[in-house]
Structures are given as C-alpha cells and as structure tokens.
Amino acid sequence: MAHIIVVGNEKGGAGKSTVSMHVATTLARLGHKVAALDLDLRQRSMGRYLENRKDFCVKSGLDLPMVEIHELPEIDPASLQPGENIYDHRLSAAVSALEP
C-alpha cells in the first residue's frame, strides 16, 4: 500500500525541502520505492537536489538507492470548469500517475 507524506509550511526557508529530501532518501535506503513531487514550482530545491544526487552517482559510479522525482504535468486550461484551480488538477494528475 502506498503512503503519502506531506511536508509543508507557509514560511520560506523553514527546511521543508531539506526534511523532504532526508525522509525520501532514508526511505529509499531502507528499500522502499519512493517517488517525490516538488510542489515549489519556482525554487525546485528538492527536485534540484535529487537531480544533482543522481548525476553525482552516475559520474562517480556509485549505486545508491534513488528517489524518483516527478514534475507536475501540464493541464490544458481549456479543460477546466469555471472556478476550478489548475494546480489542483496538476497535483491530482501527478498523484494518479504514481498510484500504480
């Protein structure tokens, strides 16, 4: 069964990406299959960290457990009903894609 862990705080610089990265990589090291969605679409701190980790491992020949990072899919604004939030749809589509 899949579990969803959310790390959130409205304040910038509170350590959300750092905590998320440590939780995700620790779960991967424990043998769990882990996927991550970085919802900070501007900064992408966690996404950039995981991309850099993957690149470092490839360059160094290291075989470390990896976390799959997924981007939020684009949604056609024309497909939305009045009052619907495009970001809600992007998040729902991303989570649905990870369910299998």
Let me know if residue 4 belongs to a domain: no
Q: Across all residues in the chain, what is the average pLDDT? A: 90
Q: What is the pLDDT of residue 13?
A: 86
Let me know if residue 71 belongs to a domain: yes
Let me know if residue 74 belongs to a domain: yes
The domain in which residue 38 lies consists of 16-98
Q: How many domains does the chain have?
A: 1
With the CA atoms of 15, 53, 24 and 3 taken in that order, what torsion angle do they form, in degrees rounded to the nearest 10? 130
Give, to the nearest 10 degrees, the angle between helix 16-29 and helix 45-60.
40
Let me know if residue 43 belongs to a domain: yes
Let me know if residue 11 belongs to a domain: no
Quick: pLDDT tens for 50-80: 899 999 999 999 999 988 888 888 899 999 9
Quick: pLDDT tens for 7-20: 988 888 898 999 99
* DSSP 8-state class, residue 81: P
- Do residues 84 and 92 make contact, with C-beta atoms less than 8 angstroms apart? no
